[in-house]
Amino acid sequence: MKFVHIADMHFDTSFTQLNNSNLGTLRRLEQRKVLKKVIDYIKNNDVEYLFIAGDLYEHKYIRESTIEYINNLFKEIENTKIFITPGNHDPYLKNSFYSKYKWNKNVHIFGPNISKIKENNINIYGYGFNDFYYTNPEIENFELENKNEINILITHATLNGTNNIERQYNAISKSTLEKIGFDYVALGHIHKCNYNEENKIIYPGSPISMGFDELGSHGMIVGNIDKNELNLQFIPLDESEFKIINVDLTEMISIDELIENIDNLEINENDYYEIYLIGKRKFEIDKYSLKKIIKNEKIIKLKDLTKRDYDVQKIANENTLKGLFVKEILEKMNDINADKELLENALEIGLEILDK
Protein backbone atom coordinates (compact mmCIF):
# COMPACT_ATOMS: atom_id res chain seq x y z
CA MET A 1 0.00 0.00 0.00
CA LYS A 2 1.15 3.54 -0.80
CA PHE A 3 0.84 6.36 1.69
CA VAL A 4 1.86 9.96 2.29
CA HIS A 5 2.64 11.08 5.83
CA ILE A 6 2.61 14.76 6.84
CA ALA A 7 2.22 16.66 10.12
CA ASP A 8 2.46 20.12 11.65
CA MET A 9 1.08 22.23 8.81
CA HIS A 10 -0.14 24.82 11.35
CA PHE A 11 -2.52 26.50 8.91
CA ASP A 12 -3.24 30.16 9.73
CA THR A 13 -0.42 30.42 12.26
CA SER A 14 0.55 34.03 12.93
CA PHE A 15 4.30 33.57 12.21
CA THR A 16 4.97 36.10 14.99
CA GLN A 17 8.55 34.86 15.33
CA LEU A 18 9.33 36.40 11.94
CA ASN A 19 8.49 39.94 13.18
CA ASN A 20 7.27 40.78 9.70
CA SER A 21 3.55 40.86 8.88
CA ASN A 22 4.13 40.84 5.11
CA LEU A 23 6.34 37.76 5.37
CA GLY A 24 3.75 36.10 7.61
CA THR A 25 1.09 36.64 4.94
CA LEU A 26 3.43 35.26 2.28
CA ARG A 27 4.21 32.15 4.33
CA ARG A 28 0.49 31.51 4.92
CA LEU A 29 -0.02 31.57 1.15
CA GLU A 30 2.91 29.18 0.80
CA GLN A 31 1.23 26.82 3.29
CA ARG A 32 -1.69 26.54 0.86
CA LYS A 33 0.68 25.99 -2.04
CA VAL A 34 2.48 23.20 -0.18
CA LEU A 35 -0.72 21.30 0.66
CA LYS A 36 -1.74 21.61 -3.00
CA LYS A 37 1.58 19.96 -3.90
CA VAL A 38 0.80 17.08 -1.53
CA ILE A 39 -2.63 16.57 -3.10
CA ASP A 40 -1.24 16.75 -6.64
CA TYR A 41 1.41 14.15 -5.76
CA ILE A 42 -1.27 11.84 -4.38
CA LYS A 43 -3.40 12.24 -7.53
CA ASN A 44 -0.48 11.67 -9.90
CA ASN A 45 0.85 8.61 -8.06
CA ASP A 46 -2.34 6.77 -7.06
CA VAL A 47 -1.59 7.03 -3.34
CA GLU A 48 -4.15 5.15 -1.26
CA TYR A 49 -3.71 6.78 2.14
CA LEU A 50 -2.86 10.21 3.55
CA PHE A 51 -1.80 10.33 7.21
CA ILE A 52 -1.92 13.74 8.95
CA ALA A 53 -0.37 13.39 12.40
CA GLY A 54 -1.65 16.49 14.16
CA ASP A 55 -1.40 20.29 14.15
CA LEU A 56 -3.02 20.59 10.74
CA TYR A 57 -4.17 24.06 11.80
CA GLU A 58 -3.95 26.59 14.64
CA HIS A 59 -7.13 26.42 16.73
CA LYS A 60 -6.67 30.02 17.93
CA TYR A 61 -6.31 31.57 14.47
CA ILE A 62 -7.93 29.20 11.97
CA ARG A 63 -10.53 30.68 9.63
CA GLU A 64 -13.43 28.75 8.18
CA SER A 65 -12.34 29.83 4.71
CA THR A 66 -9.04 28.02 5.29
CA ILE A 67 -10.87 24.89 6.43
CA GLU A 68 -12.97 25.12 3.26
CA TYR A 69 -9.77 25.34 1.22
CA ILE A 70 -8.32 22.26 2.91
CA ASN A 71 -11.51 20.24 2.56
CA ASN A 72 -11.92 21.17 -1.11
CA LEU A 73 -8.44 19.80 -1.73
CA PHE A 74 -9.42 16.60 0.09
CA LYS A 75 -12.38 16.31 -2.32
CA GLU A 76 -9.90 16.15 -5.20
CA ILE A 77 -8.61 12.81 -3.91
CA GLU A 78 -11.90 10.99 -3.30
CA ASN A 79 -10.23 7.58 -3.68
CA THR A 80 -7.58 8.36 -1.06
CA LYS A 81 -8.49 7.70 2.56
CA ILE A 82 -7.37 10.49 4.88
CA PHE A 83 -6.65 9.88 8.56
CA ILE A 84 -6.14 12.81 10.95
CA THR A 85 -5.01 12.72 14.58
CA PRO A 86 -5.54 16.08 16.34
CA GLY A 87 -2.51 17.61 18.07
CA ASN A 88 -1.88 20.15 20.80
CA HIS A 89 -2.46 23.10 18.43
CA ASP A 90 -5.62 21.63 16.86
CA PRO A 91 -7.22 19.50 19.61
CA TYR A 92 -10.61 17.85 19.16
CA LEU A 93 -12.65 20.35 21.22
CA LYS A 94 -16.42 20.83 21.20
CA ASN A 95 -16.03 24.12 19.33
CA SER A 96 -13.27 22.94 17.00
CA PHE A 97 -13.65 22.44 13.27
CA TYR A 98 -12.93 18.76 13.81
CA SER A 99 -16.16 18.61 15.81
CA LYS A 100 -18.51 21.09 14.12
CA TYR A 101 -17.43 21.03 10.46
CA LYS A 102 -18.73 18.51 7.91
CA TRP A 103 -15.57 17.04 6.41
CA ASN A 104 -15.51 15.16 3.14
CA LYS A 105 -16.49 11.49 3.32
CA ASN A 106 -12.92 10.26 2.74
CA VAL A 107 -11.73 11.95 5.97
CA HIS A 108 -11.54 10.10 9.30
CA ILE A 109 -10.59 12.02 12.47
CA PHE A 110 -9.41 9.99 15.45
CA GLY A 111 -10.58 10.78 18.98
CA PRO A 112 -8.65 10.72 22.29
CA ASN A 113 -8.85 6.95 22.78
CA ILE A 114 -6.99 4.45 20.63
CA SER A 115 -9.25 3.11 17.90
CA LYS A 116 -8.77 1.04 14.77
CA ILE A 117 -9.91 1.30 11.18
CA LYS A 118 -9.56 -1.98 9.29
CA GLU A 119 -8.73 -1.89 5.59
CA ASN A 120 -8.48 -5.45 4.19
CA ASN A 121 -5.31 -6.80 5.84
CA ILE A 122 -4.29 -3.35 7.13
CA ASN A 123 -5.10 -2.09 10.62
CA ILE A 124 -4.78 1.67 11.05
CA TYR A 125 -4.73 2.73 14.70
CA GLY A 126 -4.85 6.30 15.89
CA TYR A 127 -5.62 8.68 18.73
CA GLY A 128 -5.25 12.40 19.24
CA PHE A 129 -5.47 15.35 21.61
CA ASN A 130 -8.80 16.44 23.06
CA ASP A 131 -7.19 19.40 24.85
CA PHE A 132 -4.08 21.56 24.52
CA TYR A 133 -2.26 19.20 26.89
CA TYR A 134 -2.75 15.46 26.79
CA THR A 135 -1.50 12.29 28.42
CA ASN A 136 -2.73 8.81 27.55
CA PRO A 137 -1.21 5.86 29.44
CA GLU A 138 -3.37 3.49 27.36
CA ILE A 139 -0.54 2.98 24.86
CA GLU A 140 1.75 1.53 27.54
CA ASN A 141 -0.34 -1.66 27.85
CA PHE A 142 -1.62 -1.79 24.30
CA GLU A 143 -1.47 -5.03 22.31
CA LEU A 144 -2.06 -5.61 18.61
CA GLU A 145 -4.97 -7.85 17.70
CA ASN A 146 -3.21 -9.52 14.76
CA LYS A 147 0.54 -9.20 14.26
CA ASN A 148 0.34 -11.09 10.97
CA GLU A 149 -1.41 -8.13 9.35
CA ILE A 150 0.01 -4.68 8.59
CA ASN A 151 -0.39 -2.48 11.69
CA ILE A 152 0.06 1.28 11.54
CA LEU A 153 -0.20 3.88 14.32
CA ILE A 154 -0.89 7.58 13.71
CA THR A 155 -0.57 10.02 16.61
CA HIS A 156 0.81 13.39 17.69
CA ALA A 157 3.38 12.71 20.38
CA THR A 158 6.66 13.43 22.12
CA LEU A 159 8.95 10.47 21.56
CA ASN A 160 11.01 9.60 24.64
CA GLY A 161 9.82 12.69 26.53
CA THR A 162 11.58 12.92 29.87
CA ASN A 163 10.85 16.25 31.56
CA ASN A 164 7.52 17.46 32.94
CA ILE A 165 6.85 19.74 29.97
CA GLU A 166 7.42 16.99 27.38
CA ARG A 167 5.21 14.58 29.32
CA GLN A 168 2.24 16.93 28.80
CA TYR A 169 2.33 16.27 25.06
CA ASN A 170 1.48 12.58 24.78
CA ALA A 171 4.91 11.25 25.73
CA ILE A 172 5.63 7.77 24.35
CA SER A 173 8.82 5.77 24.67
CA LYS A 174 10.36 4.33 21.52
CA SER A 175 10.88 1.01 23.32
CA THR A 176 7.13 0.78 24.02
CA LEU A 177 6.29 1.25 20.34
CA GLU A 178 8.91 -1.30 19.30
CA LYS A 179 7.58 -3.79 21.83
CA ILE A 180 4.01 -3.40 20.53
CA GLY A 181 5.30 -4.15 17.05
CA PHE A 182 3.74 -1.58 14.73
CA ASP A 183 4.94 -1.87 11.14
CA TYR A 184 4.92 1.92 10.79
CA VAL A 185 4.39 4.75 13.29
CA ALA A 186 3.33 8.09 11.78
CA LEU A 187 4.17 10.80 14.31
CA GLY A 188 3.73 14.55 14.48
CA HIS A 189 4.84 17.30 16.90
CA ILE A 190 8.57 17.63 16.15
CA HIS A 191 9.14 19.93 13.19
CA LYS A 192 12.43 18.35 12.11
CA CYS A 193 12.30 15.19 9.98
CA ASN A 194 13.98 12.14 11.54
CA TYR A 195 13.72 9.95 8.44
CA ASN A 196 16.36 7.33 7.78
CA GLU A 197 16.22 3.98 6.00
CA GLU A 198 16.46 1.95 9.22
CA ASN A 199 13.67 3.74 11.07
CA LYS A 200 9.94 3.00 10.99
CA ILE A 201 8.96 5.42 13.80
CA ILE A 202 8.90 8.64 11.81
CA TYR A 203 8.50 12.37 12.27
CA PRO A 204 8.14 13.88 8.78
CA GLY A 205 8.82 17.36 10.17
CA SER A 206 6.73 20.37 9.21
CA PRO A 207 6.04 20.60 5.44
CA ILE A 208 6.85 24.31 5.59
CA SER A 209 9.39 25.96 7.88
CA MET A 210 7.99 28.15 10.65
CA GLY A 211 11.14 30.26 11.07
CA PHE A 212 14.84 30.37 11.91
CA ASP A 213 14.54 27.64 14.55
CA GLU A 214 13.56 25.25 11.72
CA LEU A 215 16.51 25.30 9.34
CA GLY A 216 16.98 22.99 6.39
CA SER A 217 14.65 21.26 3.96
CA HIS A 218 10.98 20.61 4.81
CA GLY A 219 8.55 18.22 3.15
CA MET A 220 6.67 14.93 3.40
CA ILE A 221 7.28 11.22 3.77
CA VAL A 222 6.12 8.94 0.97
CA GLY A 223 5.91 5.26 1.82
CA ASN A 224 5.14 1.87 0.35
CA ILE A 225 4.52 -0.91 2.84
CA ASP A 226 3.72 -4.60 2.93
CA LYS A 227 4.17 -7.02 5.82
CA ASN A 228 7.77 -7.82 4.96
CA GLU A 229 9.05 -4.56 3.54
CA LEU A 230 8.86 -0.81 4.20
CA ASN A 231 10.20 1.67 1.65
CA LEU A 232 10.27 5.36 2.58
CA GLN A 233 11.30 8.52 0.79
CA PHE A 234 11.53 12.13 1.96
CA ILE A 235 10.28 14.60 -0.66
CA PRO A 236 10.97 18.34 -0.13
CA LEU A 237 7.95 20.63 -0.50
CA ASP A 238 8.91 24.05 0.81
CA GLU A 239 10.55 26.09 -1.94
CA SER A 240 12.16 28.38 0.63
CA GLU A 241 14.60 27.67 3.45
CA PHE A 242 15.49 29.69 6.52
CA LYS A 243 19.25 30.08 6.78
CA ILE A 244 21.74 31.63 9.19
CA ILE A 245 24.96 33.30 8.01
CA ASN A 246 27.81 34.27 10.34
CA VAL A 247 29.56 37.57 9.60
CA ASP A 248 32.83 37.98 11.53
CA LEU A 249 33.67 41.59 12.42
CA THR A 250 37.12 40.89 13.88
CA GLU A 251 39.06 42.34 10.93
CA MET A 252 36.59 45.12 10.11
CA ILE A 253 37.31 48.70 11.11
CA SER A 254 34.05 50.55 10.38
CA ILE A 255 30.29 50.22 10.10
CA ASP A 256 30.60 51.05 6.39
CA GLU A 257 32.80 48.02 5.86
CA LEU A 258 30.25 45.84 7.68
CA ILE A 259 27.39 47.10 5.47
CA GLU A 260 29.46 46.40 2.34
CA ASN A 261 30.18 42.85 3.53
CA ILE A 262 26.51 42.16 4.21
CA ASP A 263 25.41 43.63 0.86
CA ASN A 264 27.94 41.40 -0.94
CA LEU A 265 26.76 38.14 0.65
CA GLU A 266 25.62 35.39 -1.72
CA ILE A 267 21.87 35.28 -1.16
CA ASN A 268 19.40 32.83 -2.73
CA GLU A 269 16.33 34.86 -3.63
CA ASN A 270 14.00 31.99 -2.61
CA ASP A 271 15.38 31.78 0.93
CA TYR A 272 15.21 33.88 4.10
CA TYR A 273 18.25 34.85 6.16
CA GLU A 274 19.27 35.78 9.67
CA ILE A 275 22.71 37.34 10.05
CA TYR A 276 24.75 36.51 13.14
CA LEU A 277 27.34 39.22 13.81
CA ILE A 278 30.27 37.51 15.55
CA GLY A 279 33.86 38.17 16.61
CA LYS A 280 35.50 41.19 18.21
CA ARG A 281 34.16 44.56 17.06
CA LYS A 282 36.12 47.84 16.93
CA PHE A 283 33.04 50.06 16.57
CA GLU A 284 29.56 50.36 18.00
CA ILE A 285 26.58 48.68 16.37
CA ASP A 286 22.92 49.61 16.48
CA LYS A 287 21.39 46.54 14.83
CA TYR A 288 18.00 48.23 14.37
CA SER A 289 19.50 51.13 12.42
CA LEU A 290 21.74 48.69 10.55
CA LYS A 291 18.76 46.58 9.49
CA LYS A 292 17.11 49.64 7.88
CA ILE A 293 20.23 50.32 5.80
CA ILE A 294 20.67 46.77 4.45
CA LYS A 295 19.29 46.58 0.92
CA ASN A 296 18.43 42.90 0.63
CA GLU A 297 14.84 42.21 1.76
CA LYS A 298 15.62 38.50 2.17
CA ILE A 299 17.69 39.36 5.26
CA ILE A 300 14.96 39.22 7.89
CA LYS A 301 16.88 39.41 11.15
CA LEU A 302 20.19 40.51 12.66
CA LYS A 303 21.63 39.14 15.88
CA ASP A 304 24.61 40.86 17.50
CA LEU A 305 26.85 38.26 19.17
CA THR A 306 30.02 40.35 19.00
CA LYS A 307 32.19 41.50 21.87
CA ARG A 308 34.03 44.81 22.04
CA ASP A 309 37.70 44.54 21.06
CA TYR A 310 39.30 45.99 24.19
CA ASP A 311 43.06 46.06 24.77
CA VAL A 312 42.63 44.76 28.33
CA GLN A 313 46.35 44.69 29.15
CA LYS A 314 46.68 48.36 28.25
CA ILE A 315 43.56 49.27 30.23
CA ALA A 316 44.82 47.29 33.27
CA ASN A 317 47.88 49.56 33.42
CA GLU A 318 45.74 52.70 33.63
CA ASN A 319 45.51 54.44 37.00
CA THR A 320 41.72 54.71 36.70
CA LEU A 321 38.63 53.01 38.05
CA LYS A 322 38.37 51.12 34.74
CA GLY A 323 42.01 50.07 35.00
CA LEU A 324 41.55 48.77 38.56
CA PHE A 325 38.45 46.84 37.52
CA VAL A 326 40.19 45.15 34.57
CA LYS A 327 43.27 44.35 36.65
CA GLU A 328 41.15 42.62 39.31
CA ILE A 329 39.26 40.57 36.70
CA LEU A 330 42.50 39.48 35.01
CA GLU A 331 43.94 38.40 38.36
CA LYS A 332 40.85 36.27 39.00
CA MET A 333 41.24 34.66 35.58
CA ASN A 334 44.67 33.38 36.60
CA ASP A 335 43.04 31.13 39.19
CA ILE A 336 42.94 27.60 37.75
CA ASN A 337 39.49 27.07 39.28
CA ALA A 338 38.04 30.27 37.82
CA ASP A 339 35.01 30.25 35.54
CA LYS A 340 36.75 32.07 32.68
CA GLU A 341 33.65 32.39 30.51
CA LEU A 342 31.75 34.02 33.37
CA LEU A 343 34.65 36.40 34.06
CA GLU A 344 34.97 37.32 30.38
CA ASN A 345 31.29 38.21 30.29
CA ALA A 346 31.65 40.22 33.50
CA LEU A 347 34.62 42.04 31.96
CA GLU A 348 32.65 42.84 28.80
CA ILE A 349 29.62 44.14 30.70
CA GLY A 350 31.72 46.10 33.20
CA LEU A 351 33.75 47.87 30.51
CA GLU A 352 30.61 48.79 28.58
CA ILE A 353 29.12 50.32 31.75
CA LEU A 354 32.31 52.19 32.61
CA ASP A 355 32.55 53.56 29.06
CA LYS A 356 29.17 55.29 29.37
The confidence score (pLDDT) of residue 184 equals: 96
Last residue of a domain, one of 178, 201, 236: 236
The confidence score (pLDDT) of residue 282 equals: 87
The confidence score (pLDDT) of residue 81 equals: 97
What share of residues in the chain are helix, strand, coil (percent, to 5)? 30, 25, 45
The confidence score (pLDDT) of residue 343 equals: 86
* 342 shares a domain with 249: no
* 248 shares a domain with 222: no
* 348 shares a domain with 248: no
Helices 321-333 and 340-355: crossing angle in degrees, nearest 10, is 170
Which H or E run contains 308?
strand 307-308
Let me know if 341 is exposed, middle or buried by CB neighbors in 10 A (0-12, 13-18, 19+): exposed
Last residue of a domain, one of 236, 266, 299: 236
Residue pLDDT, tens place only, 17-72: 776 668 888 899 999 999 999 999 999 999 999 999 999 999 999 999 999 999 99
Collect the ranges in the chain with pLDDT lower than 50. none
* 91 shares a domain with 207: yes
The confidence score (pLDDT) of residue 132 equals: 93
* 296 shares a domain with 214: no
Number of domains the chain is built from: 3
* 186 shares a domain with 252: no
Sheet with 201-202, strands from edge to edge, namely 115-119, 122-127, 150-156, 184-188, 201-202
Contact predicate 201/177, CB 8 Å: yes
* 322 shares a domain with 285: no
Nearest to 206 by CA among 231, 236, 184, 233: 236
* 317 shares a domain with 246: no
The confidence score (pLDDT) of residue 19 equals: 66
* 140 shares a domain with 258: no
* 282 shares a domain with 214: no
The confidence score (pLDDT) of residue 20 equals: 66
* 209 shares a domain with 349: no
> What residues make up the domain containing 340?
312-355
* 283 shares a domain with 335: no
* Torsion angle (degrees, nearest 10) of CA 148, 154, 158, 162: -30
Entry pTM = 0.86
The confidence score (pLDDT) of residue 9 equals: 97
Last residue of a domain, one of 196, 214, 236: 236
Residue pLDDT, tens place only, 154-190: 999 998 877 777 778 888 999 999 999 999 999 999 9
